[in-house]
Structure 1
Amino acid sequence: MLDTGETAPDMTLPMATPEAAAAKPRGEYRTADVERFELSETLADGPVTLVTIPGVYSQGCTEELCTIADRHTDLGELPGQVYALSADTPWSQLAFIDEYDISYPLLSGFNSDVLRQLGVRRPDGILQGIATRTAFVIGPDRDVAYTWEADDSLVPDFDAVTDAVAAAETD
């Protein structure tokens, strides 16, 4: 897993947004409903909080993503943006956003090397290839300002994330 002070890889990924999820009924999403996320461009607007999850629709991930959605208003007052990343396809992410009223974008690591580059890809076992549960705050220079890896909790310490975003913005 990337550590504080390391440089995050630049990434271009498919992105499922709340706006696209709301625009069509579930099950009718098409490629045109998937947007493009580029970390280097997004960082121009401030730090990025990136949460990695094993997958949408699993019990723990549903709880985690909904908890983050509940706190998104608080996090939304900070500079930068919040994203969640999983190995799921963007179409399943769009359906999840719609079903659970998720207020922030989900990034698809499907068929991408980004989970390995971040050091969060499960290397073996029946769920090989999915992400472990982590969080990063990435500053505008792509330096990692904060890391968290799940142990007993499904969600990172929001006060620590808030502090890291504020610090990354001033650097």
Structure 2
Amino acid sequence: MLDVGDDAPEVTAPMATPEAAANTERGSYTSGDVSEFSLADALDDGPVVLAFYPGIYSRTCTQELCELRDWKADLAEADAPLYGVSADTPWSLLAFIDEYDLQYPLVSGFNNSIIADFGVRREESIVAGIANRAVFVVAPDGTVSYTWLATEPLTFPDTDEVEAAVAEATR
């Protein structure tokens, strides 16, 4: 797992956005509804929060993503975009955004290295290849300024710590 002070990898990956989910009927998504996420481009506007999670529609991940949805308004005041990241396909991410009214994008680690590049890819188990639950704040200069890794099921990051890390990264 990357640590504070490490350079974040240059990554691009498919991304599902709230706008695309709202503009297309669920079940009718095509590759035209999928955007491209570029960490370098996202950092042009300031720090970025990346919340890695194992997979949508699981009990714990659904709870976490909805808590992040509710917390996002506070983070918006800190002026840092939030991106969820999992191994799910972009089309299933679009359906999840639509169903749970998420107002932040979800990045697909399907068929690319973003999860491994941040060092949170689960290597062993029946579900090898999914992401471990983790949060990173990446400063505008591309360095990791905050990390959190779940060590127990049903544990979530302290959003006050994340907000403080975002505030520090904008200085």
TM-score bracket for the superposition, by shorter chain length:
over 0.9
Provide Cα deviations, 1:39-81, integer angstroms capped at 9, x if missing partner. Answer: 1111010100000000011110000000000011111111221
| Structure 1 counterpart of 2:166 | 165
> Is structure 2 residue 86 aligned with structure 1 residue 86?
yes
Q: Distance in 1 between the 2:68 and 2:7 partners?
A: 25
Moved over 2 A (4+): 151-154
AA aligned to 2:156 is: V
User: What is the alpha-carbon distance in structure 2 between the residues aligned to residue 45 and residue 32 of structure 1?
Assistant: 25
Kindly provide the amino acid, as one letter, of the partner of residue 138 in structure 1: V
Matched with 1:120 is 120
| Counterpart code for 1:160 | E
Deviation at 1:113, TM superposition (A): 1.3
Offset, 1:30: 0.6
Can you give the 5+ residue segments of structure 1 that lack an aligned partner in the other structure? none
CA distance in 2, matches of 1:142, 1:60: 30
* TM-score scaled by length of structure 1: 0.97
Structure 2 spans left out of the alignment, 5+ residues? none
Structure 2 CA distance for aligned equivalents of residues 155 and 83 of structure 1: 15
Q: Which amino acid aligns with 2:5?
A: G
Alignment of 1:95-110 (within 5 A): 95-110=95-110
Identical-pair percentage: 54
8 Å CA contact 1:43, 1:80 repeated in 2: no
SS at structure 2 position matched to 1:103? coil
Residue in structure 2 matched with residue 72 of structure 1 by the alignment: 72
The RMSD of aligned alpha carbons is: 0.8
Aligned residues: 170
Question: What is aligned with 1:42?
Answer: 42
What secondary structure sits across from 2:120 in the alignment? Answer: coil
- Give how far 1:164 is off: 0.4
Q: Structure 1 residue 157: deviation in Å?
A: 0.6
- Partners of 1:80 and 1:10 lie apart in 2 by 18
Report the 3-state secondary structure (helix = DSSP H, G, I; strand = E; otherwise coil) of the residue aligned with 1:45: coil
Counterparts of 2:157 and 2:119, CA distance in 1: 17
Distance 1:154 1:14 in 2: 27
* Deviation digits for residues 1-57 of structure 1 (CA, Å, limit 9, x no counterpart): 111111110111111000100111110011000011111111010100000000011
TM value normalised by structure 2: 0.97
